[in-house]
């Protein structure tokens, strides 16, 4: 019955996934300190105090209290809860998804957009974009900027770690690193409609040379992700094959977020915001005397916060 299950969470391929695996196992072992004795005593009590002439249990109908038992049944669970609380508090800060990974190298910037029903990955520094295919160099961290152009979703590469939400008009940030070359499954971990089941992608962890070659392959695509391309991409589609875009309109990621935000949140004037919402940020920058670099600096999206 379990032949279709794949315990990918227990086969991590990066330090974040390894830490999360350790946290899961530690918490489970601590809880089993209570669970296993309770299961054993339930069976043992049922046998020892069974209604039979051969029973050797002492008959004490007026028994009502034992301090020793009270100390055990309350003290041990309280200590476990205290330990779990300390462990959770420490791990929550150590595994902060927005914090850079120590010794992770210079981050590769990737902008992620959840759509119906596909994932868009924009590499702003390389000027390319892909659908349902992610690439990252081995032993080098990737900084993901994650948003949605539709309903709330959840971005997750189980073997690399850290599931995190994608929400329209807001940005979540995530740092991941792969320490072993391979191809890993990425999924949508939050139900989002009819095409949810096929809203997955492949995460390729490769050498630096292979990563550079992958970028050049993407740049060789004749497809252009401009305003027209984006309008076409917004149409609902299911089970979408990996697609490469050799050119991407500057600041498309910020343009995607703009309709859900106001000018104050993006640090722009109302007029600049209108240009952005209409898909004309690049031209608007020129009209308002702003360079692309300046516009990008003023277009810091609102950060999502997770409880």
> Is residue 114 located within the same domain as residue 245?
yes
Query: Residue 297 — very low, low, confident or very high, per pLDDT cuts 50/70/90?
Result: very low
Q: Residues 165-202: pLDDT tens digits?
A: 999 989 999 999 999 999 999 999 999 989 999 999 99
What's the pLDDT score for residue 259?
A: 86
Cβ atoms of 215 and 126 closer than 8 Å: yes
Same domain for 68 and 145: no
Chain-centroid distance of CA 265 in Å reads: 24
Whether 36 and 164 share a structural domain: no
Alpha-helix residue ranges (DSSP H) falling in 158-269: 208-219, 227-233, 252-257, 263-266
User: What is the helix (H) or strand (E) element at residue 274, kind and residue range?
Assistant: helix 270-277
Say if strands 182-188 and 153-157 run parallel, antiparallel, or are unpaired. antiparallel
Give yes or no: residues 140 and 81 share one domain. Answer: no
Q: What is the C-alpha separation between 14 and 6, in angstroms, rounded?
A: 18
CATH of the domain at 195: 2.60.40.420
pTM for the full model? Answer: 0.79
pLDDT at 83 over 80: yes
Residue 240 lies inside a defined structural domain of this protein: yes
- Alpha carbon separation from 125 to 203, 248, 251, 304 (Å, rounded): 19, 11, 11, 23
Residue 192: CB atoms within 10 A of its CB come to 20
For residue 42, what are the domain limits?
A: 10-47+64-94
**Into how many domains does the chain fold?**
2
Residue 117, preceding peptide bond in cis (omega within 30° of 0): yes
Q: Which of 226, 249, 272 is the C-terminal boundary of a domain?
A: 249
Q: Looking at 95-207, list the stretches that DSSP marks H as alpha helix, in order from N- to C-terminal side.
A: none
Does 2 map to a domain? no
Q: What is the pLDDT of residues 201-214, one digit of tens each?
A: 999 999 999 999 99
Are 152 and 89 found together in one domain? no
């Amino acid at each position: 019955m379990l032949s279709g299950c794949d315990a990918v969470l227990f086969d991590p391929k990066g330090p974040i996934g390894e830490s999360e695996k350790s946290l899961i196992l530690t918490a489970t072992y601590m809880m089993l300190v209570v669970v296993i004795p309770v299961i054993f005593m339930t069976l043992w009590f049922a046998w020892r105090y069974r209604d039979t002439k051969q029973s050797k249990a002492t008959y004490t109908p007026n028994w009502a209290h034992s301090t020793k038992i009270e100390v055990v049944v309350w003290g041990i669970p309280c200590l476990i809860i205290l330990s779990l609380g300390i462990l959770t508090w420490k791990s929550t800060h150590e595994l902060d998804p927005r914090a850079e990974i120590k010794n992770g190298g210079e981050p590769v910037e990737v902008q992620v957009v959840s759509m119906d029903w596909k994932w868009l990955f924009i590499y702003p520094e390389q000027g390319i974009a892909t659908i349902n295919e992610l690439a990252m160099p081995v032993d080098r961290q990737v900084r993901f900027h994650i948003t949605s152009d539709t309903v709330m979703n959840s971005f997750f590469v189980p073997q690399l770690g850290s599931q995190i939400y994608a929400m329209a008009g807001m940005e979540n940030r995530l740092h991941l690193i792969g320490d072993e070359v391979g191809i890993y499954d990425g999924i949508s971990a939050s139900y989002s409609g009819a095409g949810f089941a096929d809203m997955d992608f492949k995460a390729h962890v490769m050498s630096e040379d292979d990563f550079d070659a992958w970028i050049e392959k993407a740049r060789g695509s004749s497809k252009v992700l401009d305003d027209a391309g984006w309008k076409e991409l917004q149409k609902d589609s299911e089970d979408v094959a990996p697609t490469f875009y050799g050119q991407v309109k500057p600041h498309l990621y910020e343009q995607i977020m703009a309709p859900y935000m106001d000018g104050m949140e993006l640090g722009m004037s109302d007029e600049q915001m209108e240009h952005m919402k209409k898909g004309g940020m690049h031209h608007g920058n020129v009209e308002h005397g702003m360079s692309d670099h300046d516009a990008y600096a003023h277009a810091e999206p609102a950060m999502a916060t997770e409880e």
